[in-house]
Structure 1
Amino acid sequence: MISTITARRLISSDLTIEYPLIKVEDGRISQIKSLSAIEHEQVQATYSFSEATLVPAYVDIHIHGCAGHDVMEANPQALDAIGSYLSSRGVGAYFPTTVTSPRDETLRSLAGLAAEINRRANAADSCATPLGIHLEGPFLSHLKRGVHRDNLLEAPSTSLFDRFWEAAEGQIKLMTIAPELSGAAELIAHATSLGVRCSMGHSDAKVCEAEAGFTAGARSATHTFNAMRAIDHREPGLAAYVLDKPSLFAEIICDGIHVDPLIVRLFHKVKDRNHIILVTDGMSATGMPDGTYMLGDMKVDVHEGRCTSNGTLAGSVLTLDRGVQNLITFTGASLSTAVAAASQNPSALMGIDKTWGHLEEGRAANITVLSSSAKVIQTFLAGKPTII
């Protein structure tokens, strides 16, 4: 099947194309060309967005749920609802993120998520695709655990990780770990050898301990500033290390609640633009009215955008499209920079940038259509429009 898409402009990586015409054949981009303003007015395209901008579909690498469902449910109904909601917010792919739970519950969820990821691998879904699992917990600091249950945290262990890995059928693609814990460096090296991206977070690490984590193979930081040792001028800690290490990717929750807009501005000024990753840390309440919702097996109260469990922040109701808008509003970042933080950069970290994060000829037509205010108008997955 052949279709065409036109818009006012296209942004991908550092490239901007005015009056683009995209030709899609069998779900892939077969041609991208720039029209003149007159040609743009006269062309008869299958899908026309005269004042909109085409960008790569977003990729959320840190999300616990949305639309009333938690990824730990790990069943088709939950992932259908989550994927459908995410695609309506411009997201084409995501990494369902676990929360520290009893071992048996974690093993059950990992097995269920793996089954769903495998089942959807070659399916022509009209909703966002889960590409792998983000294991957040149990290898976290007791001092910086956030809402992760203290009694369920575990010391880093390659044997325990291997149990998780086996249950997940090798679908663990990202792991958050506190690098200062005994055995963390060995586990980071082990997981990295299996192709897992390791992210330093929920951590009280000093700079030397963060450096040890990086040396062992860690290449990212989990929700920077949240649940990590704060910056101190005599003992800088992990947050300062994240800002100072150009090659380290860094997640940030850009909702104005988890991180003050002023700190987001400083982060944007200091951090290399190609290593900023917007995430949501979204939970089941995302897209739902205020009330009480579940994060794993924990009850979370949601009121006016703030999610708390016993007074501690517990995930968010942020959507990735809103994160893009907020980064622009808080920092003055260009649309190109903000979009890259939600598409190109997470794809680069996860090693999926041959498929995701760019709009180029030969790639799958995974496209998000934005208004002049970066609001999502439409999402195309493999060239097919999703329901907004």
Structure 2
Amino acid sequence: MKNSICINAGQIFTPTVVLQDSCVVVNDAGRIEFVGPRAKAPTDAAQTIQADDLRLSPGLVDIHVHGGYGIGFGIGDKWEADLEKYSNWVIKSGVTDFLCTLSAGTHKELCEMMETYVSYLEKGTPGAKAIGIHLEGPYLNPERKGAFNPAWLRTPSVAEAHDFLRIGGKWLKQMTMAPELPNAVEVAAEFRKAGVTVALGHSNTDYDTARAALMGDFTHVTHTYNAQTGLNHRAPGVVGAVLSSDEITGELIADGIHVDVGAMRVLLRALGTQRVVLITDAIPGAGLPDGVYSSIGQTITVKDGRATLANGTLAGSSAVLNDCVRNAHVLAGASVQDAIRMATLNPAKVIHMQDELGVIATGRKADMILMDEDFNVRMSMADGKVIYSDL
């Protein structure tokens, strides 16, 4: 095989199983040709990467991110160049696939933004792959707006939803909404019918309404604990509905700032590591020194890694996803295998792409990374090509 690559790793996290002293062979088409014991591997690979002291895992998948490295999706006037720059930067932190989380001030602006980003997605990106769009808003409860500009929020509309679905097509993967808003249930049904994952988020609703939504067309929860009603023994709120659910998946910003370690552990215990999804919710300040940045219609200050509005409200994160994986293991107590799963297979399942992403298996796309024991990324491969290496 002319351009094939054999990776010999100390451990391979598929992530459903952990293989010792095994290898993965990637063929010329950028697909995984073989996974298993080295003694049984094809011997005609053109290149061998020897990584006996490293862990091989699927590439990380970030389904909720607003930008990073000084770049914000839909901000400024160099959207395409910025997306390419972000793609080349974020792959160094192990992210091989991500959704562009988009927001805008008006329906017209958001539709135009979506249309433009769809054209970029169709062209492809040079590093990590932009695999779709996540709309966070405009159907959020102003009482739980978080860092969003309240002028950007409005009541759900079936007509608007049809515009989003028409423009986004196959690229629209996730929609975050507050279920208590007028028309929210009807609008959620439209999105789910079209195959879009509907996420409950930025909600001020009670336990019963949240539970009904999560038993209906809302199958996912945006940044669990944050910007939603908390758990009280007499008013369980959104968090109570999440923790008592049987099937839904819930995002977790495991940056050590947004959610206390004890609450992280509670979420993992209640949902299990097969239903928790690690995200960054990162803003343009991620990967850069402390400073002032713009995102979701607001001015955000990052100081000591904490991103806030002027009034102290948390405004996204400055995290990178491999650090969140590390925190899930070191702080929240997840096993290495489960911490990796929460940033690979789990997010891929949320957006119905588990047949392509998040798993090391024969025939799958070769999006993989090598990490050391401290979760530092040493190599990233996308579509079978080594994009970043520090070996």
Using the size of structure 1 for normalisation, the TM-score is 0.94
Instruction: Give matches, 1:116-265, under 5 Å.
Output: 116-120=120-124, 126-265=126-265
Instruction: Measure how far apart 1:198 and its partner are.
Output: 0.3
CA distance, structure 2, for counterparts of residue 173 and residue 103 of structure 1:
18
CA distance, structure 1, for counterparts of residue 365 and residue 16 of structure 2:
19
- Aligned twin of 2:80: 76
Instruction: Measure how far apart 1:164 and its partner are.
Output: 2.6
Instruction: Measure how far apart 1:214 and its partner are.
Output: 2.4
Question: SS of 1:13's equivalent?
Answer: coil
- Kindly indicate whether the alpha-carbon contact (under 8 Å) linking 2:32 and 2:365 is maintained by their aligned counterparts in 1: yes
- Kindly indicate whether the alpha-carbon contact (under 8 Å) linking 1:371 and 1:377 is maintained by their aligned counterparts in 2: yes
Instruction: Give matches, 1:320-359, under 5 Å.
Output: 320-359=321-360
Going from structure 1 to structure 2, the CA distance change for 1:267 and 1:215 (only over 3 Å counts) comes to closer
CA distance, structure 2, for counterparts of residue 91 and residue 170 of structure 1:
21
Question: SS of 1:132's equivalent?
Answer: strand
- Kindly indicate whether the alpha-carbon contact (under 8 Å) linking 2:148 and 2:298 is maintained by their aligned counterparts in 1: no
CA distance, structure 2, for counterparts of residue 44 and residue 372 of structure 1:
28
- Kindly indicate whether the alpha-carbon contact (under 8 Å) linking 1:368 and 1:380 is maintained by their aligned counterparts in 2: yes
- Kindly indicate whether the alpha-carbon contact (under 8 Å) linking 2:148 and 2:296 is maintained by their aligned counterparts in 1: no
Is 1:106 the counterpart of 2:107? The answer is no
Is 1:85 the counterpart of 2:89? The answer is yes
Is 1:29 the counterpart of 2:20? The answer is no
Q: Deviations over 1:125-167 (max 9, x none)?
A: 5411111110001101111111112222111111112223333
- Aligned twin of 2:12: 10
- Kindly indicate whether the alpha-carbon contact (under 8 Å) linking 1:10 and 1:54 is maintained by their aligned counterparts in 2: yes
1:54 equivalent among 41, 53, 56: 56
Instruction: Give matches, 1:261-280, under 5 Å.
Output: 261-280=261-280
- Kindly indicate whether the alpha-carbon contact (under 8 Å) linking 2:56 and 2:371 is maintained by their aligned counterparts in 1: yes
Instruction: Measure how far apart 1:3 and its partner are.
Output: 1.7
Instruction: Give matches, 1:272-311, under 5 Å.
Output: 272-310=272-310, 311=312
Question: SS of 1:187's equivalent?
Answer: helix
For the aligned residues, what is the CA RMSD? 1.7
Amino acid at match of 2:92: S
- Kindly indicate whether the alpha-carbon contact (under 8 Å) linking 2:9 and 2:52 is maintained by their aligned counterparts in 1: yes
CA distance, structure 2, for counterparts of residue 81 and residue 45 of structure 1:
28
CA distance, structure 1, for counterparts of residue 250 and residue 331 of structure 2:
17
- Kindly indicate whether the alpha-carbon contact (under 8 Å) linking 1:60 and 1:93 is maintained by their aligned counterparts in 2: yes
Amino acid at match of 1:339: I
Instruction: Measure how far apart 1:105 and its partner are.
Output: 2.5
CA distance, structure 1, for counterparts of residue 170 and residue 297 of structure 2:
24
CA distance, structure 1, for counterparts of residue 5 and residue 170 of structure 2:
36
CA distance, structure 1, for counterparts of residue 309 and residue 218 of structure 2:
29
- Kindly indicate whether the alpha-carbon contact (under 8 Å) linking 2:21 and 2:37 is maintained by their aligned counterparts in 1: yes
CA distance, structure 1, for counterparts of residue 166 and residue 303 of structure 2:
39
Q: Deviations over 1:239-270 (max 9, x none)?
A: 11111113110001001111111211221222
CA distance, structure 2, for counterparts of residue 85 and residue 317 of structure 1:
14
Instruction: Measure how far apart 1:208 and its partner are.
Output: 1.5
- Kindly indicate whether the alpha-carbon contact (under 8 Å) linking 1:99 and 1:295 is maintained by their aligned counterparts in 2: no
CA distance, structure 1, for counterparts of residue 355 and residue 271 of structure 2:
24
Q: Deviations over 1:268-294 (max 9, x none)?
A: 222221100000000111111111111
Question: SS of 1:143's equivalent?
Answer: helix
CA distance, structure 2, for counterparts of residue 246 and residue 59 of structure 1:
24
Identical amino acids, percent of aligned pairs: 28
Instruction: Measure how far apart 1:205 and its partner are.
Output: 1.7
Question: SS of 1:284's equivalent?
Answer: coil
Question: SS of 2:388's equivalent?
Answer: coil
Amino acid at match of 2:300: V
- Aligned twin of 2:388: 387
Question: SS of 2:154's equivalent?
Answer: coil
Question: SS of 2:331's equivalent?
Answer: helix
Amino acid at match of 1:322: D
CA distance, structure 1, for counterparts of residue 318 and residue 331 of structure 2:
18
- Aligned twin of 1:373: 374
CA distance, structure 2, for counterparts of residue 70 and residue 105 of structure 1:
16
Amino acid at match of 1:212: A
Instruction: Measure how far apart 1:306 and its partner are.
Output: 0.7
Q: Deviations over 1:35-73 (max 9, x none)?
A: 37xx9xxx9952111200110101000000011111114
- Kindly indicate whether the alpha-carbon contact (under 8 Å) linking 2:149 and 2:297 is maintained by their aligned counterparts in 1: no
CA distance, structure 2, for counterparts of residue 368 and residue 386 of structure 1:
10
Amino acid at match of 1:16: V
Using the size of structure 2 for normalisation, the TM-score is 0.93
Q: How many residues align?
A: 379
- Aligned twin of 1:315: 316
